[in-house]
Amino acid sequence: MADQTALDEIRDDAASRKRFLKMMGSGGAAGLGLLLAACGSDKKTTSTGAAAAGADTSTTASGEDGDIAIVNYALTLEYLEAQFYKEAIDTGFFKGKQLDLIKQIGDHERQHVNALTMAVKQLGGTPAAKPSTKFPLSDAKTIVKTAQAVENLGAAAYLGQAAKISNKDILAAALSIHSVEARHAAALNTLVGKDITPDGAFAKPASMDEVLPVAKQFIVE
């Protein structure tokens, strides 16, 4: 079917499942089952919200065009994260292990930007423009709390789009990034004294409508 997502195909076709789990590595079977349960089978995606964050929204809700919109949405979020950590490092508030952690996370976000930019181009689309940004950087405590909130939101944002992705390679990439974002979130949750997994045993996805109003706080129109 034309509007079948990558998760639908993986769920319904044994050969696709085998190829995907090989890409994801061992342990992928359990993760796939939980992901299908968490994400459901909703095939619709919201493109209007992506415009608010600067992502390309001249796309349809499914198929390759829909994947371009989703990847550009993710790219916009990664732009924000990468720039945030760069500016956080430049404040000079952090030393030692905290500085090392922020530098490592920031490097990951820059790699995500590069990977998602390439993914949009490989799909035949135009990567979203890097937005102008503004962040709360008044002191170390504020920066860490902002990082913790942003990383948890980012992990939820990837999970929220997983069921809408049509291309299996894009889905594998998105889940790979989601896993790293979740690990960032766990480390920062610990740093600010919160539960390592605030949603419990099963992560909660976040829709574009939930994520973009938060992202807009950091974007200069």
Query: Would you list the DSSP string of 16-66?
Result: HHHHHHHHH-TTHHHHHHHHHHHHTT------HHHHHTT----S-SSHHHH
pLDDT for 65: 86
pLDDT tens readout for residues 140-163: 999 999 999 999 999 999 999 999
Per residue in 74-128, pLDDT (tens digit) is 999 999 999 999 999 999 999 999 999 999 999 999 999 999 999 999 999 999 9
Rounded CA separation 61/54 (Å):
18
Q: Which two tokens stand for residue 149?
A: 């909130």
User: How many Å is the Cα radius of gyration of the chain?
Assistant: 17
Strand partners, 219: 133
Domain boundaries, the chain: 6-216
Q: How far apart are CA 96 and CA 103, in angstroms?
A: 11
pLDDT range class, residue 43, cuts 50, 70, 90:
very low
The model's pTM = 0.76
- Fold (CATH) for 6-216: Ferritin (1.20.1260)
Residue with the bigger pLDDT between 96 and 6: it is 96
pLDDT of 177 over the 70 cut: yes
- Check: CB of residue 208 under 8 Å from CB of residue 73: yes
> Which class for 30: exposed (0-12), middle (13-18), buried (19 or more C-beta within 10 A)?
exposed
